[in-house]
Amino acid sequence: MRLARGDGAEGADAGDSPAAPVVQELTGWGRTAPTVAHVAAPSTVTDVSRFVAESGSRGVIVRGLGRSYGDAAQNAGGLVLRLGAFDEIGPVDPETGLVTCGAGVSLDRLLREVLPRGWFVPVTPGTRQVSLGGAVAADVHGKNHHRDGSLSAHVAALTLVDGRGVVRRLTPSDDLFWSVPGGMGLTGVVLEVTLRLIRVESSLMQVDTTRTGSLDETMAVLAESDRTSRYTVAWVDCLARGSARGRGVVTAGDHATSEQAGEHAGGQTRGSLSRALGRRPLPAPPWAPSGALNLVTVGLFNEAYHRRAPRATRRSLEGVGTFFHPLDVVDGWNRIYGSRGFVQHQFAVEDPECVRRVVGRLSDRRAPTFLCVLKRLGPAGRGPLSFPSPGWTLAVDLPVSDSLGDLLDELDADVLASGGRVYLAKDSRLRPESVALMYPRLDEWRSLRDELDPEHVFQSDLSRRLNL
């Protein structure tokens, strides 16, 4: 397949010219710490190589669909590339499930293309609105990490432009390949990815939903669900107190067979795409008052969401969109946090006591969050900077406030003392001295990076902040 079309740039701003970068203010999905960069939309491999070679002292970084929560896809005073023109989806090999796609293809578009044909992506994060290249760079994980690992475990090959402007094809048998997953775009411009899809018989999920009354029960039900289900996740109420602290809702699912889909959904099969992935997202309000999310409003939401779940485990059928990507029904939902934005703090740790302490701190500090997600993680991947490690991962969204920095410093200290790590794709304020402690293979990654990018052409606000 060709690496890119020259007839458009999906994801680029209207009017952008590949030959003429435009000055633009950028933020992460959390809408904090805006910086200004020169943004370009190359449409050919030659364009990409030229931009890399001429990037200047502030370097270059790629930006996908802007779903990194912090500053990983920002480059103050430097160059930012959008790869929307690299948007081709090749044929799926009917025997192996291998498909080669341009790095600018979104998971949403890929799923809409392959799901009606009986295929599904092997790993998906909580949103489909991410580019495939960005998903590889972050080595995203999903509800099935305990079974299937992170995305890099399913990548058969990738093509990138290195720091010298040279096009390379890398496979998992190459050590250099493993600098890319988790490397946050700092080892090259990924142009295309060969991904191994999984077969499914329908566009529905068979889901078990269980309401829990405490954090201990939430963790126990989640661990048990891992043994029986491919996909598991728990929502945790971080405002509940006393014996109800950490109460939650655990959902566990598997792809429904064609027989299950036909029996329970009036014959729905994998072709019923509108129900499976949902229709066009509803727009979020263009602004929201900074005080909209407070103890009262979040407390009411948490109470209603918890009560809505069944007292006893209930089995149901859901579309894949509802199960995997519930927030995608609202376009721009990040604006509900108000003008100051929000921070997502996600960490991985083996020690369950660390999870209990963090939830306790959030509850004691009355941090207003309605998005607190707990998952189990399986074995770590091969990438030196890949985030998942065995144990637990907790992700919590917190609106920016004057006291938030002190709280997050406390959480970081606890995670670090427990041998855990923070997810760089979500981070916006980690201290640089913590990174080497959280990622003990950092020097190994730096050695691989230096082979691909000896002059450190690839830079971002995150790489400078963390001294990567």
- Give the single-character DSSP code of 84: T
Tell me the angle at which helices 215-228 and 352-364 cross, rounded to the nearest 10 degrees. Answer: 140
Tokens encoding 9: 């740039």
For 204-433, CATH number?
Answer: 3.40.462
The amino acid occupying position 388 is P
Q: CA gyration radius for the chain?
A: 21
Divide the 468 residues of the chain into consecutive groups of 10 and give the mean pLDDT of each group.
36 47 94 95 95 93 95 97 96 97 97 95 96 98 97 98 97 98 98 97 94 96 96 94 92 93 57 58 59 72 81 90 87 82 95 96 86 95 96 94 91 96 95 95 98 97 97
* DSSP H or E segment with residue 262: helix 258-264
| The predicted structure's pLDDT at residue 279 | 60
Q: Which fold has domain 98-200?
A: 3.30.465
Per-residue pLDDT at 290:
58
Annotated domain spans of the chain: 98-200, 204-433
- Residue 329 confidence (pLDDT): 79
Q: What residues contact 67, with CB distance under 8 A and at least 6 apart?
A: 29, 127, 129, 130, 134
* Long-range contacts formed by 34-37: CB under 8 A, 24+ apart: 35/71, 35/74, 35/75, 35/76, 35/77, 35/461, 36/76, 36/77, 37/74, 37/75, 37/76, 37/77, 37/78, 37/79, 37/80
Residue 133 three-state SS: helix
Residue 458, beta-bridge partner list: 60
* Alpha helices for 278-401 (secondary structure H): 295-308, 320-324, 352-364
Strands 60-63 and 79-82: parallel
- Distance between start and end Cα atoms, the chain: 34
Give the C-alpha separation, 397 to 289, whole Å.
Answer: 17
Q: Answer yes or no: are the C-beta atoms of 6 and 85 closer than 8 Å.
A: yes
